[in-house]
Structure 1
């Protein structure tokens, strides 16, 4: 058997506008197509590590319950665009058989890559693809490939948690009381529009205070493919980031956002940087277990001080409230956002868009786990840092996209850049400078802001 058919029957069907988060991703998909598989999310759930064995019939029951539990998985995007919720249907689970546990993990990784590499047919298929690896009658791994219109990264983790519980225990507890359909109707209500207008006003003020774009002029003949991803894997950064967060009363994510923004401004000669961090928009308790695309771009504006002796760490006091203000204004109608950018372009006589993104993909910004960091320890850990180019893309709707993943022991920073504006050597230079600035600051020798351009050489 190479596939398992799983029927489902949910509680309701219906039609609704797109939520603001869905609209934002829909716009990004249209700008990136036909390479919009870039936005697909993938997860692998190991099931052979502990607990009672899960066979294929039990997995089928769990997957059917998962489809019924989360309306986002039964929703397609049709002409309009609008979201169309279906009550009933069936999904196909692609199966791979592995001879032993040692090869099962590799088979799951290959299946993950296969399922996430294809763009979704947004109107013609469910926004989730399932795969499973089994060995000796036992399911060892389940693979999920998700369309970003159905879920963001947080929602993907909710699905993995629920599927684990459904497969192990047969229940995942009470479902989330919020649904994408209900959220869409609320956002398009008069009250929702007023909240969105307030967020757009924050964007208008912030964009008016900075250069129209962060990377305005091409500086090189682009590579083919044009977008390259540089990657830095550092065991020193988590310790250094924690030390700075504790010392300055900010989050670790804000430390990294501030360093990235300061280096962007320094590299381009801007007195201020505009960076678009991805906001989860899950502060409300009812949304924390909602599977949907809630994340949207926020606006973070960092002004560099004029004082010649100002240090990098002096930026953190203002960066913290600026980041919070941006995250509070990160839920809005993308149609109104597009109109704002068009109006700003007419007024300024040039395109207005930062084209500079920051995405902390760690599920939570955990509390710092270490205190002060000493220079010798950081230097020793920094010698293990790895820098490479793991991927390329034909098209990405941005010029500078910084992503963070990792855990307590290692931080992985990837920078996907348009090589017409940031050549390959500049991509690695930004990543090296990010680590260097944060490590020096944590060790008690923060660089002067005026010296940041030199850190990029």
Structure 2
């Protein structure tokens, strides 16, 4: 049995306008893969919260964050499915309205966790109705009068992971008695951000000069001719998850020796491994996902903020040491982040123009996404970080967690560094027509080899000083 409780709300930020830059990028991806790219999940309720508590929480979210009170507007029906007019899609944010909290009752013999999982699976698989549905679905599972689980799904066009984190944090910061916010909402609402971005033409111009310089320094193709062809029959698109404690320990040791964090170490390992597996000596190029929340005034905005950056650096050739490759990766990553805030249509036009100059489309379908939270500058001394013996002892633990065919993937290769404690966990989505599964396994092993060798060489250098 399902009970539907109507929850009223009202808040600021109402109006009609375009999509933010981050929303435009997300919406384009949503159209391309034909999903809502929804975020959320199932959380057990162990703190005694009651149904009125969850009604209040949903009202708080809807009232405080204009992104959750938005619906999309398509001037023409085909705008909802076209990649060419993403910049023309608009959003309407209302000042007040109603939403629904679903209550699913688990029977005496049912597992409430299974009920919650079923709700989540159905919602995750079903696209949002962008013109009539609010971009958040919430339900609770109840058994014998007690709330056991909460299920939340949010459409990606409304926010990203960091925005979701802001919502959860501010919900937890409410007055413990009245549940009222302790602080007024001070971050920009989506339409305010749209207006602010219209005044930053210089930002886009600067970013495009950087992008053009990088694109002109690399070849149009990311994979050499013939690589991946004839890789056999079977599934084309895959997702694999791989873990290496040795890789993380070695990255920590290298980062400590160089006085940096582990992010550029892992990026350099990726670039080196990619060139090794594909047999290239050309500069390594990949798109990276940049959160953009380090920019003034953008940290707590509830809206998608991530945009693509481009990283280009040399990792091959005679005399390029691991330390030099890591330094180049670090500088390239910093420049990519600096120039990853721009009007999306201008970047697409630039890529198309340079492709026409080369008489072939420019291939930028190799991605890297370090999605760990809170990468901290390493300050430890060498004596406090993992030893080479510990690193080598961890190498037998390295292995594949899962290899799963997927229905579709819209790029050729995307390497994600996951937020995992005590190990390096890497999730890779890829097209086996361009990166065969066997070569993908080699790439992951090569990332570990690069980093462990770098730790050993830096260890020897320090010892000889």
TM-score under structure 2 length normalisation: 0.86
Kept in 1, the 8 Å contact 2:371–2:418? The answer is yes
What is the CA–CA distance in structure 1 between the aligned matches of 2:111 and 2:172, rounded to whole Å?
21
Rate the CA distance shift 1:202–1:444 in 2: closer, same or farther, 3 A.
same
1:204 — aligned with what? 212
One of 78, 83, 87 as aligned partner of 2:91: 83
- Post-superposition shift, 1:377? 1.4
Matched, 1:74 2:84: no
One of 181, 194, 209 as aligned partner of 2:191: 181
TM-score under structure 1 length normalisation: 0.87
What is the CA–CA distance in structure 2 between the aligned matches of 1:297 and 1:17, rounded to whole Å?
20
What is the CA–CA distance in structure 2 between the aligned matches of 1:365 and 1:126, rounded to whole Å?
34
Secondary structure at the counterpart of residue 378 of structure 1: helix
2:22 — aligned with what? 21
Secondary structure at the counterpart of residue 298 of structure 1: strand
Aligned residues: 436
One of 341, 352, 355 as aligned partner of 2:351: 341
One of 285, 303, 307 as aligned partner of 1:274: 285
What is the CA–CA distance in structure 2 between the aligned matches of 1:328 and 1:379, rounded to whole Å?
37
Secondary structure at the counterpart of residue 421 of structure 2: coil
Rate the CA distance shift 1:173–1:43 in 2: closer, same or farther, 3 A.
farther
Matched, 1:243 2:253: yes
- Post-superposition shift, 1:418? 0.5
Rate the CA distance shift 1:346–1:43 in 2: closer, same or farther, 3 A.
same
What is the CA–CA distance in structure 2 between the aligned matches of 1:345 and 1:243, rounded to whole Å?
41
1:450 — aligned with what? none
What is the CA–CA distance in structure 2 between the aligned matches of 1:103 and 1:428, rounded to whole Å?
38
What is the CA–CA distance in structure 1 between the aligned matches of 2:67 and 2:232, rounded to whole Å?
39
Rate the CA distance shift 1:377–1:342 in 2: closer, same or farther, 3 A.
same
What is the CA–CA distance in structure 2 between the aligned matches of 1:443 and 1:376, rounded to whole Å?
10
Secondary structure at the counterpart of residue 418 of structure 2: strand
1:159 — aligned with what? 167
One of 95, 101, 108 as aligned partner of 1:93: 101
- Post-superposition shift, 1:159? 2.2
Kept in 2, the 8 Å contact 1:250–1:316? The answer is no
Rate the CA distance shift 1:366–1:266 in 2: closer, same or farther, 3 A.
same
The CA deviation string for residues 397-433 of structure 1, in whole angstroms up to 9 with x for no partner, is 2101011212332332011111101112122222222
The CA deviation string for residues 181-224 of structure 1, in whole angstroms up to 9 with x for no partner, is 111111123xx122111111111111111121312545235765
The CA deviation string for residues 41-96 of structure 1, in whole angstroms up to 9 with x for no partner, is 22444441x4xx21011211111111110111111222130111122222233334
- Bigger shift: residues 134-143 or 310-319: 134-143
Rate the CA distance shift 1:378–1:96 in 2: closer, same or farther, 3 A.
farther
Matched, 1:403 2:416: yes
- Post-superposition shift, 1:379? 2.8
Matched, 1:141 2:152: no
- Post-superposition shift, 1:231? 0.9
2:84 — aligned with what? none
What is the CA–CA distance in structure 2 between the aligned matches of 1:77 and 1:284, rounded to whole Å?
27
One of 301, 305, 318 as aligned partner of 1:290: 301
Structure 2 gaps of 5+ residues are 75-87, 460-465
1:358 — aligned with what? 368
Kept in 1, the 8 Å contact 2:239–2:429? The answer is yes
The CA deviation string for residues 107-134 of structure 1, in whole angstroms up to 9 with x for no partner, is 5445433322222222231112212233
What is the CA–CA distance in structure 2 between the aligned matches of 1:114 and 1:165, rounded to whole Å?
31
Kept in 2, the 8 Å contact 1:43–1:156? The answer is no
Rate the CA distance shift 1:165–1:96 in 2: closer, same or farther, 3 A.
farther
Give the alignment's Cα RMSD to 1 decimal: 2.6
- Bigger shift: residues 159-168 or 6-15: 159-168
Rate the CA distance shift 1:138–1:165 in 2: closer, same or farther, 3 A.
farther
- Post-superposition shift, 1:284? 3.2
Secondary structure at the counterpart of residue 322 of structure 1: helix
- Post-superposition shift, 1:283? 1.2
1:320 — aligned with what? 330
- Bigger shift: residues 207-216 or 342-351: 207-216
Secondary structure at the counterpart of residue 8 of structure 2: strand
Kept in 2, the 8 Å contact 1:279–1:327? The answer is yes
One of 59, 68, 74 as aligned partner of 1:64: 59
- Bigger shift: residues 4-13 or 291-300: 4-13
The CA deviation string for residues 317-366 of structure 1, in whole angstroms up to 9 with x for no partner, is 22212111110100111100110011011111111132111112222223
The CA deviation string for residues 147-174 of structure 1, in whole angstroms up to 9 with x for no partner, is 1111111112222223444596513432
- Structure 1 segment 377-388 matched on structure 2, within 5 A: 377-388=390-401
Which structure has the larger Rg over C-alpha atoms?
A: 2
Secondary structure at the counterpart of residue 284 of structure 1: coil
What is the CA–CA distance in structure 2 between the aligned matches of 1:295 and 1:127, rounded to whole Å?
18
